[in-house]
Every structure is written in structure tokens, then in C-alpha cells.
Structure 1
Amino acid sequence: MSSWNPSHRPAVPLPAPATAATSRWPALPPLTAGAVAVLLALYLTLAANLPLWRTLVQVGRAPSAYLPLMLGMGLWLVLGLTALLAWLAWPRVIKPLGLLLALVAAVVQHYMLGYHMVMDPSMAANVLQTDVHEAADLLGWRLLLDVGVVVLPVALWLWRQPIRPQPALRRLGSNALLGLGALLLVVLVTLLFSRQLAPLMRSEPQLRYMMNPLASLYSTGVAALRPGLSRSSSSPRVVISADAHLKAPVSATGRPPLMVLVVGETARADHFALNGYARDTTPELARLGVLSWRNAWSCGTSTLVSVPCMFSPLGRTGHEARRSEYENLLDVLQASGLAVLWLDNQSGCKGVCERVPNAQANDAAQVAKYPALCPEGECLDAVMLEGLDARLAALPPDRVARGVVLVMHQIGSHGPAYAKRASQAFRRFMPQCLRSTLSDCSHAELVNAYDNSIAYTDHFLAQTIGWLQQQSARFDTGLVYLSDHGESLGEYGLYLHGMPYALAPEVQKHVPLVAWFGGGLGRHSGIDEGCARAGLDAQVSHDNLFSTTLGLMGVGSSAYQVQRDLFAACRRSQVAQAAPEGSQAP
């Protein structure tokens, strides 16, 4: 009898361990990384471009018109994404980067669907510079749902999809062949569909920024490289402040000027009762007898574009065409010997205040100190008035004795969380929209929330004027308020702002401009207020801010342009108010 020896046991193949995935789903055949890239490009083209397909249907109107457009742009997208992904088509790379690309595409599609925005370079730059509070206002359950619908299917597929290994050199050759082949086919598709697509790109230029996610990647790259969109405080600038100086004072009081310049946020001119709006959104300013220009226009449709532009000496056209960065209004004011302070209740000054004293009014210390003004970590604009006397006292006394320019940068009517921009006492128009997905609110609720934010701005400006009146024993005071851009509230299906300037509706560009000189600043600079009131229907813009401010503060500079000074024609005293003969704007 022989004993049993385990080593002599016949070899029997063991079954693969069962898992949830293998028990529920059939196995997928292995694919090369290049094939995964092509399928991913096809999926993103179909699933992450609903705004593009919808727009093409609206533009084409009839199937015979829009189907060729959809085919041509669809092929562009598939081939363009394939050309991009071909260089990432490596077994250990394609899955995580493919999933990340799908996530980006899904997020961008959500905002294009919800807010009818397009991802041009300015919008990409805005996204890159958005702070935590602004980003939080844009989050919600709809974002999770929209992203999940796009990302979960591709995530499941990528998780289960086996990738066939290939030698490195062979994979490199295949990737190069796939990428170059896709680019050649892009050229071929362009030639085949040029008759349909070329006129479309000229008549509907926003479509090029709706090709998702290619447009997002392109715009982000441009935003990172273009002057003014990628900011660097150390980059060289064209100096315009070298000859800045204070002129002989016009005022007979002997008091230095104190000007508060309020940079508004997202305010529409047509929602100010001062400009004829049916609702009384600006009662406190009306009682103060302010000047209000009814035909004022912005440099851009986003804070990132408008704020640097409005402080520039170049005007909108020159600012857009510039090849170099320039010093700005604050540099000239400071070089003249005035005291300058930028106080911010938003996500920063977009590079404008980097070379002058500046402070955040909504930092952690302020939030902790003024909880009633800073609910949920976001501060109402009135927080900028807290401790303002101490901030003024901390400025260099020799400069203060010559004059002060204090810039306040509002959170204003920043959307989509309009309901957060007004305290309880100023929620006059109810019911108001409380959601961040604005299309979920009725138009009436949305307008109510927005108008409440304008009513709060009215109160904040009146409070600021009250503070200026308290300084009248020491200074000749005045205030200028100018919003950076307007806002869409559902008109034409658009929400928020940031549309390319040439395509943006007027409501994103028509802004309020208000001035108050009851504290003596008008008399200080020799302004005939009756003359100024006679010009309130004239067309003005952000281009006027630079020279108007220099004129009000009595600053001489070769960068000053008399034709852009709103009050040049209304000065009783013309002492050195015009630019030196032959001087030109830089």
C-alpha cells in the first residue's frame, strides 16, 4: 500500500476568483491605448457638447442646414481630440488623464448649459483667478448631477477596459502615426466642409469657444500666456508716471482733496432708479442729489478685463491691442505725491493695486471681528467702512496732507448668489431667488434678488458719503462710483456675464456711473455742477476714468487727455487743466 503524497496531486486549474465586476459584466476585449484614445474622443464629442449641438440646431433651423454643420464640427472635434489624446496614449497614462479630461469637459458643459457662457480666454482667466467663496456660490446638486451623467459612464468603462501592452518604441510610433493622421484628416474635413463652416465661424464666432473640451484647453493656455491675463508684478511695464506732479490747488479752503472711488461689481445701469428704472432701487442716492450718467459703458464684460482696462491710460481699444503692460492710474496718483489706498471686498484687484498700499477688508480677521457683516464667511460691502478712520490715519502724513484717493472694490451684485449681497433689511423685493442654478428660479425671483443687491449698493454708497461728510473739517471730499460690467438675468437665455465683448448683450456692458461732490471736491477742482448735470445723457465709458480722476485730484501728467476728462469743459478755473501741447496718450 502506498501512502498519499500531496506533491503527486494532479494539476487542476482553479477558477478565477469571482468579483462583483466579473460576475455582473462580460469581460471586455483588450484594446491598444490608441484605440482607447479614439473611443474617448468620440464619447466626449457626443456627450460633452450638448450646448454646441443645440446652438447649431438653432442656427441652422432646418435639418438640411444644421445636420451638415453638426457633422463637420463633430468630425473636427473627434479628430482634434484624437490628435491631442494620441500623445497621451500610453497604458499607464491614458486612463487617469482621460478621466480628468472627461471631468473638465463635464464641468464646462454644466456651466455652458446653466449660464449660457462660453469658455473664451477671458472666461478661462476668470476661472483661474476665482476665489473659494466665488467658487462655492457656483456649486450645487445640479453640478453633481450634470457631471455625474457624463463622467460616471466613462469612469466605469476606463476602470474595466484592459489595455493591450506594447513595446515602448512600437507604442511611440503608433501614437505619432495616430496623431499626425488625425491632424491630416482635420485639414481634409476643413476643406470638405469649408463652404458650410467658414461663413458660420464668421457669423457665429462664439461657436469656436463651445467646442468642448478643446476650447477650454486652448483658452486656458491663452489665459496663462497673454499679457494682462497672466499677471506678474515683476514683469516690465511702460512707465507713464515719471512726470506726474500736483498742480497749484484750485480750492480756496486750503484743505486737501479726499476722493473715494468705488469700483462696483456686476451692476446694470438699467436697474438704477436714478436712470429711470421703475423700481426705487436707489432712494438714498436720490436724496443726496448725486450726478448719474445714463449712457455709460464698460471696457469689458468681466472683472478681470474691465478693472485693469478702466485704470489704464490707453482706453478700451488701446488696452485690447497693447503688446506690453503699462503703469496705471494708481501709479500716476502715487507718483504725484498723493496718498493712495486700495481696499478690497472681493477676490483681488487683478494686478491694479500691486504697487500701492492695499488691504483685504474680507480677510479672516475681519470675518471673525464682524460676524454680522460676514455671514457664512462672505462679507457685505459695509465691512469696508469698519476701521476706515484707522486705515486713513495709517497712511503717510506727508502724502495725506497733499490729498488722498481711496479705492473700494465691492462684492456688489456678484452672482449667482445675489441673495447673499444684501442684508435682511434690504430684501425689499420678494420672493427672491435663493439658488445658484439661476435657470431653476423664475425670472421674477431672479430680478428680485438682483434688485435687492442694487438696493444694498445704494445704501453702502450712501453710508460711504456719510463717512466722507464726517471728514469735511479736514478734506474737500467727493465720491465716484463706476461698475466694472453689467449682468444678464435670463435675457436671450443668458445668465451672469463674461460673454466676448463683440457678442455680449448691452446689459453686460451698460453700467452705472455716479458722482457726489457735496463735500467740496467739485469746488476744489473748479467744477460748475450745473454744467456737469447738463451732460448726463452724453455717452461716456471706462475710458473717461483715468483723465477724469487726474483732473479731480489736480494731477498733471503727459498721460492726461483733456477730451476724456468728464469735467474739463465744466471747470470755472482752467488753471493748467489741459494736457501740455502736443502730449499724447501712451
Structure 2
Amino acid sequence: MSATAKSSSPAQRSTLLACAAVGATLLMLIALGHDGRRVAQLFALASPALVWLAWPVRGARAHRVRTCVVWLWAMGFALDGVIRAYLLDGYQAAPDSSLIQSAAANTNSREGAEYLSMHWRAMLVWSGALLAAGLALGRFAQRGARQAMAWPRWAVPLLCLALLVSTVAYLSKPWRRLHPVLFWSQWSQSVQALRAGWADQQQQRDTALARAAAAAPVVVQEGPATLVLVITDSINRDNMALYGYRRATTPRLLAHKAQLGDQMVVLRNAWSVDASTVPSLRNMFNFGLPPEQEPQHVLALARAAGYKVWWMSNHDDVAIEQQHARLADVVDIVNRTPGRAGASLDGELLDCVREALEDPAERKLIVVHLMGAHPHYVLRFPAGANPFDDQVDDVEAGLEKSGRSAWVRRFRQEYDAALLYHDSVVSETLQLVRTIGRADGYRAWMYLSDHGQEVGHGSNHAGHSPSTASGYRIPTVIWRNSAAEPYRAGTGDRPFRADWAGWTMADLLNIRWTGDATDRNALGEGYRWVAPVLPVKVSSFED
């Protein structure tokens, strides 16, 4: 070996180590957020940085520029991988999925801060991984080749192959659009377009009203009629004493059930098909049909049939307001604080419910949209009103035995306290509809949640959960006064889908129209259950 070759050997080893370390770090982070061939595609897009590290740069200034550019380049791929890994771990979703894009389009700065305050532990772990990767990449990016050297025979063909594959990757549009800079730029534009579409939907609402009028809906029951529809957020029926939970979270609903008997039916096998609010409400009010089928909207049908419609909400939510609330005759949003985690309590809506029930309109549909137990749980009940705080009972012991962390057990206590307060509000809406109005008139009340919530039921997680059955298990309860027909035997044991709730709502409103169907109405004689396709395995929809 010549003297020149010997003198260059340490520099050569340092450069090879730098390329290998940067390449291995990138490959690991890319694999966290991607699978299959996409890992190879992203690595091909990232490989120019490795080639540049092997290319000799003699000048000190040029060396610093290369170090900075290579580090920034690599960190772009690292950040992309960590974000995707976080979303996969917490939500089993890609960033361009409708779940994530809807949530991003429906989020403001305050809600983002509130989300961070609840999920900072998981985010801290992933941020730590990103920081470690950044330090490693920064250290090895400084060790790029500074002088010409004799490379092993295998190195030159390998670098040429890397350049060739990278060139192909950048020439291919399907590959190129995966590049973090392009992907996240386009993702941001998609979110902005989605938000803009929500902000201006008057034309879609006009179309929905015209479509409803063309269907010529009629009310088949004479006399005054009132339906109070209570839609809540993030309630898992497994945490309700009404459904057999071991904590006393629903004493007032249990009292109503004991008093009302068969007039109040508890659908014990109710499921949502969506794990987040926006798609769930769209399915509820559009009869579970996709937009391309031009479905009817329940509120538009009710108005066309002669109902006066109210929408009262504790949500400050532009998507829901534009897609649904503005179809009503009267809109009352009591929560004026941006962010769904605002501190406005659901009880603020009770005066609005009373006023609507006292309105002289002959036929009324009153939609009450509650925050329910949407995180933060601690904001869903009055301060100091948590009887389960630090309570050692069977529920706490079971969670501890299942290996649930202290913070998940604390969230379960807060969640159950939220359900206890929620029970008082929901029960009061039922009490109001039972007592206000003409004694000879038809009155009905329906209560259900948009989706469930995971609070240590199937995993060590608290919050929205599209990856566990708890994210889809919801309560559904229906009451009708004596002016209505009795429920059919076994109605409470029927499995129920929230995306079919529109058919049941129409039955409670006694509306019939062109295109009406009965096989999806849970109260109907011809009901035919079809199990939904969920992204999680459910052993039985009848449990």
C-alpha cells in the first residue's frame, strides 16, 4: 500500500462511517412512518445527501455549507417519519387520511395548545427520538469527504447506483410527491381547501333544501309533534351505569328508566362507524349514504315537511355549523370560546332547550349538540365535582391489574366524573320534553353519541381511538310518550348503527317521502341488520 493510500485511510474510514450512520438513521426513521416499497422510495429520494457526503469538498466554507444542507435535508425526512409514526401509533392513520385532515382543518391555535397539554407525554417521547436523530445526523454530517481518496472497488458502483435510482425517483411523479417538502406543502394546501370549503357551503345547503322539497315529505301523524335530538361527543357506553358500569355515573337516567319502563328503550348494542365527530355527524344526518348518491339531509327533510328546526350547540365548530347547523331555522351556539376543549359546560344549553319547547310552533325538531366528554375531561364537569377522584374501587383495581398507567387511571376518574355531570344534563333534557308541551301532543326524545372514547378499556391510552373498539361503542336511548305506538319486542337488544340513525330520526318525526326505506330503521318491523366494516376487529356487535 502506498504512503498516499495509508495517509488517506483514516479519512476514508471516517467518510464511510458518516455515510453509513446517516443512511442507517434515515432508513430507521423512514421505516417508522412508512411500510413496504415506500421505505425504498423515500430512501431513494433521500440518497443524494449520502452521495454528497462522499464527494470531496476541500474549502472550509463549502464544507460548512454542505454540512448544513445535508443536515437540513436529512432532518426533513426524519421529521416526516416521526410525525407519521406518531399518527400511526396514536390513531392508526396516515396524515393524508380524512380523519387527520378533517381534524387539522377543524383545529385552531387554542385547540392545538389544549391537545398538546393532554398528549404531551407521547409527543415528548417522539420529540426525544427526533432530537436524538438530529444530534446524530449533525455529528456525522460534519465528517463528509474533504479530500480525494482511493475508494474500495464496491463503493464507486454503489454510489453510481444510488445516483441512478435517485434520478429515477425524482423523475417519477408518484415517487417525487412523497418527498417531505412536496408532500407537506400539498397537505397544507388540502387542509386549507377543506377549511375554505366548510366556510362557504351555502350553495350545498340550498341544494339540500331543494332536494328535500322535491322528495315531497309528509308527516303521517296528525297534531302537534316535538322531537328533541340530543347528540353528544365522546361517550363510551361502557362507562355508563345505565349499561352496567360499576361506577354510579348515570343515576338520573337510571331513575328515568325505572319510572318510564317500556316508554324508554335503551339500545344496548349501539355502535358508531366513525371515530371522530365530523364524519360521524355527516353519516348521521345523511342516512349513512355517500355524497355521490345525493342523499337527503334529516334537517332539510324536517323543514320541508313543516317542522320548525332548532340547532343549539356547545361546540364552537365551523365544520359542523356550516354542514348541519345552518340548515336549521334557529341556530344558537352558546360556546363562544374557540376550541372544542373550551370550558363552557353543557348545562348552559338547558335554558335554550326550555325556550324552544315553549315556542308555539306546531311541529318542532330541536337538535341539542353537547360537548359530552370530549377531552379535556376535567373541563366537562364543574370544579370540585369529581366523586371518583383518588377513589380506590373495583374499577380502579381492575385498571391497575390490567397494567394501566397512573395517568390513564386519573383520566378514567375524570372521564367518569364528566359522565356523571353529563347524566344530569341529558336527563334534564328528557325531563323538559316530558313536562313542557301539550299533554295530547306527540313527543319524542333520542340520545346518542357521535363516537366512543378509549380510556384504558383496551389499551393504555386515553382519547379518540380509531384503533380500538372503544372508539366506536356508543349509547343510544329513545323515549316516546303515550301518543306513540309501543316499541316492538326485543327492540332494545337490536344492534344499532349510528350512520343509520337518520332513518330512526325520520321515524320519530313520522316523516315519509319519496325514497324512504324501512330496513335501516331500528324501530321498524322490517329492520335488517348489516354489520359495518370497521378498521378494528369486533368479535360481536351484539355485546
Give the TM-score taking structure 1 as reference length. Answer: 0.62
Query: Shift in Å at residue 337 of structure 1?
Result: 2.0
- Residue 480 (structure 1) aligned with residue 446 (structure 2): yes
Counterpart in the other structure of 2:324: 352
Counterpart in the other structure of 1:17: none
Query: Shift in Å at residue 380 of structure 1?
Result: 1.7
Query: Shift in Å at residue 333 of structure 1?
Result: 1.0
Relative distance call for 1:480 and 1:493 in structure 2 (3 A) is same
Counterpart-to-counterpart distance in 2, 1:494 and 1:212: 33
Query: Shift in Å at residue 480 of structure 1?
Result: 0.6
Counterpart-to-counterpart distance in 2, 1:546 and 1:80: 48
Counterpart in the other structure of 2:55: none
Query: Shift in Å at residue 479 of structure 1?
Result: 1.7
Counterpart in the other structure of 1:338: 307
**2:509 aligns with one of 543, 548, 553:** 553
SS of residue in 2 equivalent to 1:429: coil
**2:430 aligns with one of 458, 462, 465:** 465
Letter in 2 for 1:138: Y
**1:206-229 residue CA offsets vs partner (Å, 9 max, x unmatched):** xxxxx9979985994897599999
Counterpart-to-counterpart distance in 1, 2:191 and 2:256: 44
Counterpart-to-counterpart distance in 2, 1:97 and 1:383: 51
Counterpart-to-counterpart distance in 2, 1:439 and 1:136: 25
Counterpart-to-counterpart distance in 2, 1:333 and 1:566: 19
Counterpart in the other structure of 1:208: none
> 1:320-399 alignment to 2 at 5 Å?
322-323=291-292, 326-348=295-317, 350=320, 351-356=323-328, 357-364=330-337, 377-390=342-355
**2:113 aligns with one of 120, 136, 144:** 136
Letter in 1 for 2:99: M
- Residue 423 (structure 1) aligned with residue 403 (structure 2): no
SS of residue in 2 equivalent to 1:564: coil
Letter in 2 for 1:249: Q
Give the TM-score taking structure 2 as reference length. Answer: 0.66
Query: Shift in Å at residue 98 of structure 1?
Result: 7.3
Letter in 1 for 2:215: D
- Residue 297 (structure 1) aligned with residue 271 (structure 2): yes
Counterpart in the other structure of 2:286: 312
Query: Shift in Å at residue 323 of structure 1?
Result: 2.8
Counterpart-to-counterpart distance in 1, 2:168 and 2:366: 59
Asked if structure 2 preserves the Cα contact closer than 8 Å seen for 1:124 and 1:216, the reply is: no
Letter in 2 for 1:508: G
Letter in 2 for 1:274: L
SS of residue in 2 equivalent to 1:419: helix
Letter in 2 for 1:135: G
- Residue 276 (structure 1) aligned with residue 244 (structure 2): yes
Counterpart in the other structure of 1:247: 219
Letter in 1 for 2:346: D
Query: Shift in Å at residue 326 of structure 1?
Result: 3.7
**1:257 aligns with one of 208, 214, 225:** 225
Counterpart in the other structure of 1:405: 365
Counterpart-to-counterpart distance in 2, 1:93 and 1:428: 56
SS of residue in 2 equivalent to 1:358: strand
Query: Shift in Å at residue 123 of structure 1?
Result: 2.3
Counterpart-to-counterpart distance in 1, 2:334 and 2:474: 24
Counterpart-to-counterpart distance in 2, 1:275 and 1:550: 26
- Residue 512 (structure 1) aligned with residue 475 (structure 2): yes
SS of residue in 1 equivalent to 2:116: coil
Relative distance call for 1:498 and 1:429 in structure 2 (3 A) is closer
Query: Shift in Å at residue 296 of structure 1?
Result: 1.3
Counterpart-to-counterpart distance in 1, 2:277 and 2:357: 26
Asked if structure 2 preserves the Cα contact closer than 8 Å seen for 1:48 and 1:150, the reply is: no
Query: Shift in Å at residue 542 of structure 1?
Result: 1.7
| Percent of pairs with identical residues | 21
Relative distance call for 1:453 and 1:305 in structure 2 (3 A) is same
Query: Shift in Å at residue 268 of structure 1?
Result: 1.6
> 1:86-125 alignment to 2 at 5 Å?
103=79, 105-110=81-86, 112-113=88-89, 115=90, 117-119=92-94, 121-125=97-101
**2:169 aligns with one of 157, 178, 182:** 182
SS of residue in 2 equivalent to 1:300: coil
Asked if structure 1 preserves the Cα contact closer than 8 Å seen for 2:430 and 2:445, the reply is: yes
**2:103 aligns with one of 124, 127, 140:** 127
Letter in 1 for 2:168: G
Counterpart-to-counterpart distance in 1, 2:124 and 2:406: 18
- Residue 538 (structure 1) aligned with residue 504 (structure 2): no
Counterpart-to-counterpart distance in 1, 2:73 and 2:312: 41
**1:516-537 residue CA offsets vs partner (Å, 9 max, x unmatched):** 33xx3x51xx321xx3463200
Counterpart-to-counterpart distance in 1, 2:459 and 2:116: 20
Relative distance call for 1:330 and 1:444 in structure 2 (3 A) is same
**1:150 aligns with one of 121, 126, 130:** 130
Letter in 2 for 1:527: E
Letter in 2 for 1:344: S
Letter in 2 for 1:119: A
Counterpart-to-counterpart distance in 1, 2:203 and 2:47: 37
Query: Shift in Å at residue 403 of structure 1?
Result: 1.2
Counterpart-to-counterpart distance in 1, 2:464 and 2:471: 8
**1:453 aligns with one of 418, 423, 433:** 418
